C-alpha cells in the first residue's frame, strides 16, 4: 500500500485504492473520526485523509501491516498508558491490520483533539 506518489483525488479514492480488508478498517476509522468531529473539514493532505477544525485535527494512512493514526503529540502523550500495546512515536500510533481497531480509544483521542481545537 502507499504504492505511489500520486495524490488521491478524494478520501473515497484513497480508501478505494486498498484491498477490501484494509478498506474496511480505513472506512471504520473515517466514520469514527467524523462521528466525533462532525464539524471537521475532510480533505487530502500529505497524500492521506486529513481532518481540520481550527487547524489540523487528525490524519490517517494505510500501510502494508498497519494503519497509521496521526493524532498529534498531545493526544499520544495524554493517552500513552492506553497505547502501550501499539507502536507509537511522537504524534503517531500504529494500529496493526491483524487486530480490531480500538474503537473506544480512537473516539477518546478524537474527542480530546476536538476539545484542544475548540480551545484555540
In a domain, 57, yes or no: yes
- Cell, residue 111: 474527542
Number of domains in the chain: 1
In-domain check, residue 1: no
**Residue 76 belongs to some domain of the structure:** yes
31: CB partners within 8 A, 6+ apart: none
Query: Residue 68 is part of a domain; what is its CATH number?
Result: 3.90.1150.200
Output DSSP code: residue 101: -
pLDDT by residue, tens only, the chain of 120 residues: 444 568 899 999 999 999 999 999 999 999 999 999 999 999 999 999 999 999 999 999 999 999 999 999 999 999 999 999 999 999 999 999 999 999 999 999 999 999 999 997
> Has residue 49 been placed in a domain?
yes
Burial classification of residue 36, based on how many CB atoms lie within 10 Å of its CB (0-12 exposed, 13-18 middle, 19 or more buried): buried
Q: Which domain holds residue 31?
A: 11-114
**Could you tell me if residue 3 is inside a domain?**
no
Measured CA to CA, the distance from residue 96 to residue 3 in angstroms comes to 18
Q: Is residue 6 part of a domain?
A: no
Query: What pTM does this model have?
Result: 0.93
Please indicate, yes or no, if residue 119 is contained in any of the structural domains.
no
Amino acid at each position: 500500500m502507499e504504492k505511489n506518489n500520486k495524490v488521491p483525488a478524494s478520501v473515497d479514492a484513497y480508501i478505494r485504492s486498498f484491498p477490501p480488508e484494509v478498506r474496511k478498517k480505513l472506512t471504520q476509522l473515517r466514520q469514527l473520526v467524523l462521528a466525533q468531529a462532525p464539524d471537521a473539514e475532510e480533505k487530502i493532505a500529505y497524500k492521506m485523509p486529513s481532518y481540520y477544525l481550527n487547524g489540523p485535527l487528525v490524519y490517517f494512512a494505510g500501510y502494508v501491516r498497519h494503519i497509521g493514526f496521526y493524532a498529534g503529540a498531545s493526544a499520544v502523550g495524554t493517552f500513552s498508558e492506553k497505547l502501550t500495546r501499539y507502536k507509537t512515536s511522537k504524534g503517531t500510533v500504529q494500529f496493526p491490520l491483524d487486530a480490531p481497531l480500538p474503537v473506544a480509544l480512537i473516539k477518546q483521542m478524537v474527542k480530546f483533539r476536538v476539545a484542544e481545537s475548540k480551545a484555540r
